[in-house]
Amino acid sequence: MERILRSLATALLAAAVVQSSFAAEFKPAKPECVAGAKPGGGFDLTCRLAAQALHDFKLITEPMRVTYLPGGIGAVAYNTMITQRAEDANAIVAFSAGSSLNIAQGKFGKYDENAVRWLAVIGTDFGAIMVRKDSPYQSLKELMTALKADASKVVFGAGGTIGSQDWMKAAMIAKQAGVDPKGMRYVAFEGGGAAITALLGGHVQAVSGDASESIGQMEGGAIRVLAVLSERRLPGKLAAVPTAREQGYDVVWPTYRGFYLAPKVTDEQYKVWVSLFDRMLANPAYAKLREERGLFEFAKTGKDADAFVKKSVAGYRDLAREAGLLK
């Protein structure tokens, strides 16, 4: 009997070692980044930044493909990863501060901030108000004066419905200008890229979006950025753009960007991804890639990222209540 027990113990130990070895050797196969909106917006930008950095720095051996699951500004992707791909350890999913705000308001359905594994925050963006290059509005004050004079003549477009972060940006500025946000004409689009396309087509007069989304179109001469929603002017390509504060509107809106993993990814797989992102963020070349996409330094991974996102969602719940969007 003693010999049998010893044999059984040896076999169990060997199995545990093998299992541990397999877990430690996990490497993403056919890595994928899921963007929860149409191409051209912030989720797309976030995915492409990580895909390039991870591959260029030789942290993954295969190129990371970007796929799109538009719907609800991230809601469809969130629900898909939870209900259909819960064990998929090869996919990371882009999220932003806007995702956190939507989760806070219950816009992702029955799933809250505890439903996925928050992986990393890799940078921050800031809100921006933009118009077409040929728009008669030369400043944020001019735009708000026109809105106050006749709200029906100024149509705002943005990614997300009423209550989304892009709506909140415009609503907070409008309120400070003496305009009831409920009286604003607002058109919701599936992501910032679609909103800018509508602006270029003359379907809306202004877009409330993110600074990073504006850079390419601004450099191409297609749009004018009236204000950035940062505490001070941003460096680089947007250095000449005044803040909303400079123009009399005390609105600051940072938009952090990052990734989460599906809920049933194992602890070992989660740790591998955290390690990959730690190494990516520590690479001196990463700062240049981040800056090229209009993002600014702000990074958290693993447990720190998890704690930050959950605290952020709690703060957004308070903000939503103040705005009358939650009871």
CATH number at residue 183: 3.40.190.10
The verdict on pTM exceeding 0.75 is yes
Residues 248 and 146 in one domain: yes
3-class DSSP state of 207: strand
Residues 161 and 243 in one domain: yes
Residues 170 and 206 in one domain: yes
3-class DSSP state of 96: strand
Domain hosting residue 308, numbered range: 31-125+255-322
The predicted structure's pLDDT at residue 234:
92
| Window from 6-15, 85-94, 225-234, 278-287 with minimum mean pLDDT | 6-15
Return the closest-CA partner of residue 131 out of 204, 193, 192: 204
Tens-place pLDDT, residues 289-314: 999 888 999 999 999 999 999 999 99
The predicted structure's pLDDT at residue 73:
82
Residues 6+ apart with CB under 8 A from 14: none
- Please report whether residue 17 resides in a domain: no
pLDDT bracket for residue 20 (50, 70, 90): very low
Domain boundary pick from 232, 252, 272: 252
pLDDT bracket for residue 72 (50, 70, 90): confident
Domain boundary pick from 199, 224, 252: 252
- Write phi, then psi, for 105 (nearest 5 degrees): -95, 5
Q: What percent of the chain has pLDDT over 90?
A: 76
**Stretch 125-132: mean pLDDT:** 96
Residues 87 and 232 in one domain: no
pLDDT bracket for residue 42 (50, 70, 90): confident
Structural domains counted in the chain:
2
- Please report whether residue 78 resides in a domain: yes
The predicted structure's pLDDT at residue 3:
55
Residues 259 and 248 in one domain: no
The predicted structure's pLDDT at residue 5:
42
The predicted structure's pLDDT at residue 198:
95
Domain boundary pick from 252, 273, 293: 252
pLDDT bracket for residue 21 (50, 70, 90): very low
The predicted structure's pLDDT at residue 10:
52
Assess whether pLDDT exceeds 90 at residue 110: yes
Q: What percent of the chain has pLDDT over 70?
A: 93
Return the closest-CA partner of residue 122 out of 281, 308, 304: 281
3-class DSSP state of 173: helix
Tens-place pLDDT, residues 75-91: 999 999 999 999 999 99
- Please report whether residue 132 resides in a domain: no
Q: Which residues pair with 209 in a beta bridge?
A: 128
**Stretch 226-236: mean pLDDT:** 94
- Please report whether residue 47 resides in a domain: yes
Tens-place pLDDT, residues 173-229: 999 999 998 889 999 987 788 899 999 999 999 999 989 888 889 999 999 999 999
Dist CA 265 CA 20 (whole Å): 15
Residues 176 and 220 in one domain: yes
Residues 73 and 165 in one domain: no
Q: Tokens for 147, please give them.
A: 């809105």
- Please report whether residue 134 resides in a domain: no
